[in-house]
């Protein structure tokens, strides 16, 4: 375990007259913050940290590997994140145990946990814990969050996610965001469609191949294919479809991702599950690239149908959607992201959640009986 920047710098400016908070930000244990390639949660965490520091707060970031954020302090639980073990339970469990020990040494006002295992440690803790649900909230995950109850402040990343589990104790909804200025805008597009995401049945890149081929457009597919389910899916569904009109790019780092997104005629998002957000959707639109997507999860919240992309209800409608997307104004795509999905809006949303969590937190002198709700 190592630390950097152990001295917390006091910032005099406090937004909206609110007091400065010391926020312990807990990232997942697999990738640097921000990541060099794959790692959507780590990307969001990095931008949130920077925006909170800019708004006058102290942030202690706890994660894996290295960081390149404005956090005044960084503590790592793994010198190198175990990215090759993504999907296994033990790295998360070990990370959560180490984080719990670290938090005992911090005088934080609020903890913001972006992991799955970490919130288990919130029970009995006096410091309020805010948890962002970055993944599914039904089935086992829903049971998990429900069992945590009021030990955490649970935040949804879309209205669709919250609607999928209305009985969970939601505290707020805060959309994910990006720094649009870090994505290159390009009005002139090249003659290819793009799929950018995991090679996974839920992401369905095989449907992207079929749709692009039916529309007469070559396609580039870029994404992670390392877990057993991803490799098996690739062999079963993607490999048999590879032809001259299909390019498998592999994992795209931050630079390659931006180049591919900005030059594509459109990006395809044929998801087969109710994805709670889809960061790549707003990344594409920030580049002026329309998105053709199935109406699942948060898609209708992210895309303005007919203006920043095409949203369809059936798989068979995707090829026509690709053709329709060619008439969409790239400038409208960019402006939509700049207006709706800024890191400043995201940080302000979380700041409100933190302030509410701190106000609701029990005082240290209160006993368990004092904190129990009246019957």
pLDDT in tens, the chain (375 residues): 444 433 333 333 444 446 799 999 999 999 999 988 777 899 999 999 999 999 999 999 999 999 999 999 999 999 998 888 877 889 999 999 999 999 999 999 999 999 999 999 999 899 999 999 999 999 999 999 999 999 999 999 999 999 999 999 999 999 999 999 999 999 999 999 999 999 999 999 999 999 999 999 999 999 999 889 999 999 999 999 999 999 999 999 999 999 999 999 999 999 999 999 999 999 999 999 999 999 999 999 999 999 999 999 999 999 999 999 999 999 999 999 999 999 999 999 999 999 999 988 766 544 444 444 433
Could you tell me if 173 and 194 lie in one domain?
Answer: no
CATH number at residue 285: 3.40.50.2000
Domains identified in the chain, total number = 2
Q: Are residues 36 and 122 in the same domain?
A: yes
Residues 166 and 311 in one domain: no
Residues 158 and 202 in one domain: no
**Which residue segment(s) compose the domain that 108 sits in?**
2-177+343-371
Q: Is there a contact between 196 and 223 (Cβ–Cβ < 8 Å)? A: yes
> Same domain for 153 and 14?
yes
Q: Do 197 and 276 fall within a single domain? A: yes
Note the pTM of the prediction, 2 decimals: 0.88
Q: Helix (H, G, I), strand (E, B), or coil: what is residue 237? A: helix
Are 95 and 234 in the same domain? no
334 & 186 share domain: yes
Q: Are residues 135 and 30 in the same domain?
A: yes
| Contact residues for 154 (Cβ-Cβ < 8 A; gap 6+) | 131, 133, 145, 148, 168, 169, 170, 171
Q: What is the model's pLDDT at position 12?
A: 38
CA distances for 135 relative to 145, 158, 195, 269, 355, angstroms: 11, 11, 20, 17, 24
Report in angstroms the alpha-carbon separations of 278 from 160, 195, 288. 12, 13, 16
Is the same domain home to 265 and 363? no
**Hunting for tokens 């145990």 — which residue is that?**
97
pLDDT at residue 155 in the model = 98
Predicted confidence at residue 65, as pLDDT, reads 93
Same domain for 208 and 169: no
The residue length of the chain stands at 375
* Sign of the torsion formed by the C-alpha atoms of 67, 71, 77 and 79: positive
What span, in angstroms and rounded, lies between the C-alpha atoms of 102 and 106?
7
Task: With beta carbons less than 8 A apart as the criterion, state whether 309 and 208 touch.
Answer: no
- Are residues 361 and 264 both part of a single domain? no
């Amino acid at each position: 375990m190592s630390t950097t920047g152990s001295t917390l710098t006091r910032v005099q400016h406090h937004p909206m007259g609110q007091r400065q908070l010391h926020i312990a930000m807990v990232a997942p244990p697999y990738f640097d913050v921000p990541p060099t390639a794959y790692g959507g949660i780590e990307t969001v965490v990095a931008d949130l940290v920077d925006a909170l520091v800019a708004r006058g707060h102290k942030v202690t970031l706890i994660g894996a590997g290295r960081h390149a954020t404005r956090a005044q302090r960084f503590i790592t639980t793994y010198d190198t994140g175990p990215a090759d073990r993504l999907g296994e339970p033990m790295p998360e469990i070990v990370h959560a145990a180490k984080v719990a020990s670290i938090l005992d040494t911090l005088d934080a006002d609020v903890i913001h946990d972006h992991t799955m295992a970490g919130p288990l440690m919130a029970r009995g803790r006096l410091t309020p814990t805010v948890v962002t649900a970055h993944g599914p909230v039904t089935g086992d995950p829903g049971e998990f969050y429900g069992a945590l109850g009021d030990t955490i402040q649970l935040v949804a990343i879309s209205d669709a996610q919250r609607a999928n589990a209305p009985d969970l104790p939601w505290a707020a909804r805060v959309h994910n965001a990006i720094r649009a200025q870090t994505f290159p805008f390009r009005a002139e597009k090249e003659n290819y469609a793009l799929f950018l995401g995991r090679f996974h049945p839920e992401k369905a890149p095989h449907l992207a191949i079929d749709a692009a081929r039916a529309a007469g457009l070559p396609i580039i597919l870029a994404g992670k294919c390392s877990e057993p389910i991803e490799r098996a899916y690739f062999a079963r569904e993607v490999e048999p479809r590879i032809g001259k009109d299909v390019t498998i790019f592999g994992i795209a780092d931050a630079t390659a991702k931006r180049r591919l997104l900005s030059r594509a005629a459109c990006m395809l998002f044929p998801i087969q599950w109710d994805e709670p957000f889809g960061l790549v959707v707003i990344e594409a639109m920030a580049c002026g690239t329309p998105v053709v997507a199935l109406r699942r999860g948060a898609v209708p919240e992210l895309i303005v149908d007919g203006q920043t992309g095409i949203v369809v209800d059936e798989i068979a409608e995707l090829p026509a959607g690709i053709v329709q997307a060619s008439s969409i104004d790239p400038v409208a795509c960019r402006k939509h992201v700049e207006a709706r999905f800024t890191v400043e809006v995201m940080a302000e949303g979380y700041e409100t959640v933190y302030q509410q969590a701190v106000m609701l937190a029990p005082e240290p002198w209160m006993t368990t009986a004092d904190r129990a709700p009246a019957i």
